[in-house]
Amino acid sequence: MKEFKTILDTYHKLDLTKRKVALATVMQVKGSSYRSPGARMLMMDDGRWVGSISGGCLEGDALRKARQVIINKIPRTVTYDTNNDEGNQIGIGLGCNGIIDILIEPIDVTSNSNPIKQLESFITYKEIGVVATVFESGNKAIPVGEKVVLSAYESIEGENEYLIDLLSGDLIDVKSKVKSVIKEYVVDGDVKVYFEIIEPCIDLLIFGGGFDAKPVVELAHTLGWNVRVTDECMAHLFPINFPHADQVVACQRDYVHKEIEISPYTAVVMMSHNFNYDLAVLKQIIDCDAAYIGILGPLSRAQKLFKALDHNKIEITDRAKEILHYPIGLDIGAETPEDIAISIIAEIRAKFSNRSGGFLKYRKGPIHHKDGKEDQVFKQVYLKHFFQNRKSN
């Protein structure tokens, strides 16, 4: 979502009566690459760009091809083979050991299918959506760049009725599995479609507005997360203390369950340093929909909280045990508030990616690879279960 927001911010600042733009999106990767499918880059006809589709090695050539796409007003898929260390294809050494398909689309500000408008709609999603994009086609009725979107609100949208009929079933199937995929169709010619899962950005909810919450807020803001800070002490919540928070909420401890919204994309961080406050909050959120609840402080403090919950006959369910993290953060030897903030944010990111947070040197397989068995366990099991339950209710 950070990349989406950066692209949108740049786009809205442009004088589009003078500038022409194109959007590049990574559609497919075979082997290794610096960026995964779904990575985007906005390119201007004056040579500037924001976002990225690689580690810097493909952007220049993509920009040259984007100028032609802007002139022709026709989307185009470009394939880069980075297995060649000599980089004969575009004149530079790549050596990323992968084949990358990138769709470059001209931006028509008057068109309803403007991909920038679609990006803007994704920002508002609070549940999962899917966008299906054609990036290879031998069928004249299904041109490259055509899209069909299954919104977070279950509506299927697109301008090509033929493509909607073709993809509707697969859109629903992809959403149920919560995993982006490439699908191929043979319909009067071969057609390749990238089904991209669009997820809401991480919603960081911090209970406690102390000084050590500030670097956590700042780092999460830098990553493009939605950041909320809540406390019952008004003195902690002056806007000057948290200029980068999206929302600062004064809420008394007994009304958290009524006034604070929590979703499957919420990461709760409890760092008030007030035991009774944390206990009152934990009583209300222990069985909430959050994906993560982290408790600041030593193990003994968390155990004392859990003992108090048991005394109040509040059960810690198996799912609650999975989402509770105490002491909070990854083990990086953090001591200062800034170090601790890095530790907390890194653990939350690892949780949402279902990674262990270990050294990449010990990881088997490509860094960005998601095989559906390891990296997507949380998304496939928990989120699928959550949304199916919501529909049945």
R_g of the chain computed on alpha carbons: 23
**CB within 8 Å of 114: residues ≥ 6 apart:** 107, 108
pLDDT digits (tens, 9 = 90+) for 36-86: 899 999 999 999 999 999 877 888 899 999 999 999 999 999 999 877 655
Could you tell me which residue, 366 or 22, shows the higher pLDDT?
22
SS3 for 100? strand
**Contact present, 248 and 229 (Cβ < 8 Å):** yes
pLDDT digits (tens, 9 = 90+) for 317-337: 999 999 999 999 999 999 999
The separation between CA 44 and the C-alpha centre of its own chain, rounded to angstroms, equals 25
Question: First CA to last CA across the chain, in angstroms?
Answer: 29
Distances (CA, A) of 27 to 53, 114, 195, 236, 368: 10, 17, 9, 45, 14
pLDDT digits (tens, 9 = 90+) for 205-228: 999 999 999 999 999 999 999 999
Angle subtended by helix axes 337-353 and 213-222, to nearest 10: 50
State the Cα–Cα distance between residues 261 and 265, nearest whole angstrom: 11
What percentage of the chain exceeds 90 in pLDDT?
Answer: 68
Q: Where are the alpha helices (DSSP H) in the chain?
A: 2-13, 59-72, 115-123, 161-177, 213-222, 256-259, 275-285, 299-311, 318-323, 337-353, 377, 384-392
**Which domains does the chain carry?**
10-110 (no CATH), 111-200 (no CATH), 203-353 (3.40.50.720)
State the Cα–Cα distance between residues 163 and 159, nearest whole angstrom: 8
